[in-house]
């Protein structure tokens, strides 16, 4: 059953991007068809190579990445996806998603996502950024549109603060994503 599911993992520019490699590994083990899209900022924290190796698919890092043929890869993935999982999702990426900004491949996939697909978001950011009214308004808008959220978790943050803002564990994110798709974990 999992082999028929197509999961797009969106990775944004957070120190937690390194944990997305573990999420990719766990999702790949389910047998789902896994495709990774990285923002330019995500590539400041981790390279596409581990995602390409684990997913067994090319990693999209630009709107202009073309695997083959004439059809844009970001539109093909938006059409075919059963789940768009964004982990980690920064405050910037939440704002862009909430306001329909499509200036990169991930934003275009989110905006063109087929209506039957699920959207799950795993935030990771500084606690003050998470609790800011602008971020909370963006989260509320995304939830209103059907986005599912997992996290953030509490704990020590990369910025040195303690509090709400950590990326949920890769195991918890993977389990929630599989549950959303109806795949036993």
Q: Could you tell me if residue 146 is left (phi over 0), alpha (psi between -120 and 50 degrees) or otherwise beta?
A: left
The edge-to-edge listing of strands for the beta sheet with 118-123 is: 33-38, 6-11, 83-89, 118-123, 148-149
Contact yes or no for 122/151 (Cβ under 8 A): yes
What is the distance between the alpha carbons of residues 13 and 29, in angstroms, rounded to a whole number? Answer: 25
**Selected catalytic residue, list 1, 75, 140, 159:** 159
Whether 159 is catalytic is: yes
Give the number of residues written for the chain: 185
**Residues with catalytic annotation?**
159
């Amino acid at each position: 059953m999992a082999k028929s599911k197509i999961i797009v993992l969106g990775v944004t520019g957070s120190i937690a991007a390194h944990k997305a490699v573990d999420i990719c590994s766990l999702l790949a083990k389910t047998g789902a068809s896994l495709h990774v899209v990285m923002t330019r900022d995500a590539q400041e924290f981790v390279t596409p190579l581990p995602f390409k190796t684990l997913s067994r698919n090319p990693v999209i890092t630009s709107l202009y990445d073309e695997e083959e043929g004439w059809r844009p890869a970001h539109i093909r993935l938006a059409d075919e996806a059963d789940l768009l999982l964004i982990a980690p999702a920064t405050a910037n990426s939440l704002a862009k998603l909430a306001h329909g900004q499509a200036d990169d491949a991930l934003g275009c996939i989110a905006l063109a996502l087929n209506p039957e697909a699920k959207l799950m978001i795993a935030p990771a950011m500084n606690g003050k950024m998470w609790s800011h009214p602008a971020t909370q308004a963006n989260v509320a808008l995304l939830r209103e549109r059907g986005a599912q959220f997992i996290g953030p978790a509490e704990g020590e943050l990369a910025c040195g603060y303690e509090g709400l803002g950590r990326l949920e564990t890769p195991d918890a994110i993977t389990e929630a994503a599989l549950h959303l798709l109806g795949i036993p974990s």
